[in-house]
Amino acid sequence: MIFVLRVLLIAVSLLIDTSRFLELPFVGARPMVFIAIVVCFSLRAGALTGGAWGFSSGLALGVFFADARVGAMTLGGLLAGCVPAYIKGGLFWRNWAGQAALGAVGCLLFEGMVMGFSSLRGEFSVGPVVGLARLTVDSVLTGALTPLVFILLNRMETRN
C-alpha cells in the first residue's frame, strides 16, 4: 500500500513540475517537487532506494514528456537520490536545516546535470549568469520544500 502511495506521490509531483504550477512569476524559478521527494526517500531508506526512485523519476520525466535530455535527467535523478544519503552523515539531517541543505544539494545535482548536458549540445537558451541564478533559486526553493515533504512522508507512513 505504501508503495502505491509513493508512486502516486511521485506521479503527481512530476505533473506539478512539468506544468510549472509553482513557478515564480518574474524569476522563472520553481522548486523541484520530485527531487525533494527523492531526497526524502534517500534520507529515510538509503542510497539504493533514493537512487532507484530518482532514476525512475528522471526516466519518466524524460520519456513520458518527450524530452531530448532523457539521459541527463536519468543520471541527474540517480545522483540526486544517491548523493544525499552518502553526505547525510556530516549533517544533522533529522532537523529541518540539514534536510533543507540536502534538498538543495539534490536539486543542484539534478539541474546541474541537465544544464551541463544542454550547454554541451548548444541548447542553452539563456546566458550563463541567468542560468546559474535560476539554478541557485531553484535549489533554495527545493531545499525549503524538502523538510515539508519529509513531514508529509512521516505522517503518510505512520498512518498506514
Give phi and psi for 100, each to the nearest 5: -65, -40
Average pLDDT, stretch 52-60?
90
What total number of domains does the chain contain? Answer: 1
Average pLDDT, stretch 45-51?
89
How far apart are alpha carbons 119 and 149 in whole angstroms? 31
Neighbours of 116 (CB within 10 A): 13
pTM above 0.75, yes or no: yes
Mean pLDDT over each residue of the chain, to the nearest integer = 84
Q: Are 24 and 30 in contact (CB under 8 A)?
A: yes
| pLDDT of 146 above 90 | yes
**How much is the pLDDT for 7?**
82
Does the residue 15 lie in any domain?
Answer: no
Domain that holds residue 141: 33-152
**How much is the pLDDT for 160?**
61
**How much is the pLDDT for 27?**
67
| Structure letter (DSSP) for residue 95 | S
Does the residue 25 lie in any domain?
Answer: no
Does the residue 26 lie in any domain?
Answer: no
Does the residue 87 lie in any domain?
Answer: yes
pLDDT for 86-127, tens place per residue? 887 777 777 888 899 999 999 999 988 888 888 887 776 777
Does the residue 14 lie in any domain?
Answer: no
pLDDT for 57-82, tens place per residue? 889 888 877 677 788 889 999 999 99
Instruction: For residue 36, give the amino acid letter.
Output: A
Q: If pLDDT is split at 50, 70 and 90, which confidence band does 26 have?
A: low
Does the residue 1 lie in any domain?
Answer: no
Average pLDDT, stretch 41-52?
89
Does the residue 48 lie in any domain?
Answer: yes
How far apart are alpha carbons 14 and 34 in whole angstroms? 6
Does the residue 157 lie in any domain?
Answer: no
